[in-house]
Amino acid sequence: MLNFGLFSINAYACCEPAVAVRVARAAEAAGFDSLWGGEHVVLPDPQAPPSPMGPHEPILDPVIALTYCAAVTTRVRLGTGIIILPQRNPLVLAKELTSLDRLSNGRLIFGVGVGYLEAEFRALGAPFEARGAVTDDYLAAMRAIWSQEAPAHIGPFVSFKNIQARPQPAQRPHPPIVIGGRTAPAFRRAVAQGQGWYGVALDPAKTGEALAGLREAAKSVSRPAHLGPLEISVTPARGVTVDADTARAYAALGVHRLILMPPPKLDAAGLEGFVGDVGTRLVGKV
């Protein structure tokens, strides 16, 4: 059975607390398995490719927004889609995500990517050229602080020992890690380190190409047995009408979850209508 997630719970109309509550509860009631929030700390002004958002389009911090949604729901999972890891301090982020996982009773999905907006990196003083290597080092550090009894990590960008950060996450050894991105390094990172992979703005043909890339990556990197099968999540491209046949086409390719993105200009009633329509037509039926 194909699962359905809802994207942009931290953006546009959902930046208003009352709207976020209505939409989060409606999605849970409609049978969505997860709520997802993306991340941009700052945006280029004026908008410059490849930025998907204009400089005045609103977006909240995903961890805070998802924690807010956790307080008004009971079942639906809470996914970061994605956090730009090399822009963050890994131990501060690990504490924030642990707090969300604990307060939600173990509902966090940690989606992570290396980022792509150089202007954003420059404004934050983060290393753009080394972002892939930084991501790998930070992930290792976060796994250590989350899972080890005596946490220690010695890496090129972060090192620590003789510290503790309690409590550890509700999910053991740590929340599931989902790797975003469609580059060869991202595919290798997903195979080697992720419980899941997340692709954004993909039609079925592009999804098939990405899955072929993941299979190719699996030929060159080993996958630890404890990670289990790689869970595939996809947000369809804008303009793709997701009816039952289209959803089945994604599922036939090997997709486990479709994370649907509503049109950005919808108000609270429009978002509730979008969620209800998907719940009626697709959730539990594909």
Nearest to 141 by CA among 156, 159, 126: 159
Give the CA distances from residue 244 to residues 2, 239, 282, in Å, rounded to whole numbers and listed in that order. 11, 16, 6
Q: Indicate whether 48 pLDDT > 90.
A: no
Fold of 3-281: TIM Barrel (3.20.20)
| Rg, the chain, Cα only | 18
Instruction: Kindly report the backbone phi and psi dihedral angles of residue 159, in degrees, each rounded to the nearest multiple of 5, phi listed first.
Output: -145, 145
Q: Indicate whether 277 pLDDT > 90.
A: yes
Q: Indicate whether 238 pLDDT > 90.
A: no
Q: Which amino acid is at 174?
A: H
| Predicted local distance difference test score (pLDDT) of residue 106 | 98
Strands, E, within 65-218: which ranges? 77-80, 83-84, 108-113, 153-154, 159-160, 177-180, 196-202
Burial of 156 (0-12, 13-18, 19+ CB in 10 A): exposed
Token digits for 45? 């002004």
Query: Can you state the angle between helices 184-193 and 131-147, rounded to 10 degrees?
Result: 10
- 190: number of Cβ within 10 Å: 29
| Cα separation, 212 vs 216, whole angstroms | 6
| Cα separation, 255 vs 244, whole angstroms | 14
| Predicted local distance difference test score (pLDDT) of residue 49 | 87
Break the chain into its structural domains and give their ranges: 3-281
| Predicted local distance difference test score (pLDDT) of residue 52 | 87
| Cα separation, 109 vs 101, whole angstroms | 9
| Cα separation, 278 vs 260, whole angstroms | 9
Q: Which helix (DSSP H) or strand (DSSP E) does residue 16 occupy?
A: none
Strands, E, within the chain: which ranges? 3-6, 34-37, 77-80, 83-84, 108-113, 153-154, 159-160, 177-180, 196-202, 231-236, 257-260
285 bridge partner residues: none
**Residue-wise pLDDT tens digits, 164-198:** 999 999 999 999 999 999 999 999 999 999 999 99
Res. 285 pLDDT band, cuts 50 70 90? very high
Res. 23 pLDDT band, cuts 50 70 90? very high
Nearest to 70 by CA among 103, 29, 99: 103
- How far from the centroid of its chain's Cα atoms is residue 126's Cα? 20
Lowest-confidence segment of 64-68, 261-265, 267-271 by average pLDDT: 261-265
**Residue-wise pLDDT tens digits, 65-123:** 999 999 999 999 999 999 999 999 999 999 999 999 999 999 999 999 999 999 999 99
Residues 235 and 243 sit within 8 Å (Cβ to Cβ): no
| Predicted local distance difference test score (pLDDT) of residue 192 | 98
> What distance separates the 2 farthest-apart alpha carbons in the chain?
55
pTM to 2 decimal places: 0.97
